[in-house]
Structure 1
C-alpha cells in the first residue's frame, strides 16, 4: 500500500497483514428479456453505473484508499468502511446520499475493517478487522466500540473478511486465511450471537472472501478469491453444520478476482471484482445476466469491492476504489434489496 499500483495487490490484504506495524498502525446496452434476464440467444447485458460522489482520497500514510462494506441504517443513511484508513482518519463513514455528503462515524488507532453490517439481534454495527483477527461492534451512531470476538478458532487465528447474519443474529464469517501465503486454508466460521461459541463450518477454501445467505436462509454463497469461483454451502440443522458443498459458478475474471458477494430478492448474485471496476450478476443457477461497470472515461478506478441495494427498492450503490480515490456509483439492480444485499 505504498503508491497505488496499476493494479491493487490481492484484495490489498497481503499488505493488510502488515498493517499493524504501520500503525493502521440503468443505462448501457440492454438485451434483457422479462425479469432482467438476457433474452434467449443474447449475451448478458452491460449496465453502466453512474458516479454518485467521491468519498475518500488516497491516504498519504498508507498510499491508498479502499472503500468496502456499504450498508444502510434504518434511516436510509449509507455507512462505508475505508479498509486502509490510518489511525485517526475515518474508518467508518456515514454518507447522506441526498446531500452527497460524507462525515466520520468512527475511528480508532488500529482497526483494518473490511466489512460492516447491522445485526438483526441487537441493532449494532459489526465490523470485521482483517489485520487483527477480530470482530468489533459499535452502537448505531458509531460510538461505544466493543470487541465482540477475538482469538483463535480451532487452534488458528482468523483473517475475517465479510460477515453474513442469519435471522437470529448469529454471524457467518468468511475467514480468508492463507491469502498472503497462497495456501487454500480459508474457512467459513460461525459465531453465535453472544460471541461465546465459534465453529468452523467449512475449511480448505481458496481465500474465502464474499459471503451471503440465499433468499431462504437455507445456504451460503461464498466467493473464493484465489480460485475465482463461487461456491454454495447447504446448511444443516440450525445452521450449525454444512450438509453439502459444491462449486456453483466459475468466474471468468481474467486478471480480476472474486471479491464480495450480495443477493437480491430474486436470488440473483452480485459478484464484485477485485482488479476491475465492475460487478458480474448471475442467477441462482449460474446464468450470467449482466455486467455492471463504470464509464470507460472514469480513469484510476481498479476495484469494485461491494454493493448495497436499497432495502425494498432497486437502487444499488457500489463501492469503487483506485488511484483516483474511493467513490460511490449507482445503478438499477435486477430486483429489490433485502438483508442479503445490505452489507457484508
Structure 2
C-alpha cells in the first residue's frame, strides 16, 4: 500500500507518518514544503527506513503532485497540509486561503486526473482522505450540545472558514466527479512534537522558563482534547475502512476549560520539576480575549467508535503527563525552534497560546 501524506512534517502529519512507516508493508510518501511549522526532525525515527520518503513539494503545484502520484503509484492520499493557527489567521488570512483552499483545490485536481487514469481495480480502492477540524462547526453553548457529522457549518475565524471551504470542495469533487473521498473532523490535538506556539507546549515551555502563562479572557473557553497518537490511529482507520463520501468526527471525550488545562500542566510540573519560590500557577496571567473566540467545542465520536471500532487509548490525564515528560526530555527538538524561530519575536507575546 502506497500512501501519500501531505503535511507529513507537521504535528499531526508526522504522527501519521511514524505510525504508518512502522508497517513494512506500507510505503509512506511525505509531501511537505517545510514552512515554519514543518520539521523533519520530528521524523528522525523513520527517516532512514526504506519505506519512507520525503518530497519537498507545495500542494499548490498540481503538476508536481500529479507526477508524484504516478511515480509512486499512490493508493491513498491523506491530506493534512494546512495552516492551522487561529491567531496567525487573524493577522494574515491570505496565507490560510492560499494553503487551505487553493492548495486543497490543486490537490483535488491532481488526484482526480490520477484517479481517472487508474485501471478499474485500483480505481475502486483509491481513497482521498481529507483531514479537517471541529472548528468548522463554529461553537457551542457552555452547557449543552455536541458536534456530530450532521452539525451545520458556522466558522468563526479566517482559519476555520478556510478549512470549511476546503471541506466543501472535497465533497463537491465527490458529488460532481465521483472522486472517492472520506473526511474527518477532529478536536484539539496534543502530544509530542507539537509546535511550541500552541497552547499546551507553550504553557509547558513558558513555565520552565519562568515566563508568564497567558490565558485569554477568564480561561472559560472549552475544548475537547485528543492525543495525537490516538488521532493518527483513527485517521488510518478512516482512510482504509471509512465509507466513501462519509465524514467521521474524532474526539477524545476530554472537555476541559483552557484554565483547567493550564492549571493541570502547572500541577504536573509542580510534581515533576518544582520551581523555587512558589507553584507554577503563580505565573498564570489573564490577557484580553482574541476576536471571534469560540466558546466551546465538543465532538461526539460515536460514529467512528461504532462503525470503525476506534477508541481513544489515552485519558487526558495520562496523555498530558506523558506529553509533559516528552517536553522535559526532548529539548533537542524544541530548543532550537523556541530560540531561532521565535526568540524574542512573538512566542509568549502576541501569540498568547489560548486554544
* TM-score using structure 1 length: 0.29
Higher strand share: 1
Higher helix share: 2
Structure showing greater radius of gyration is 2
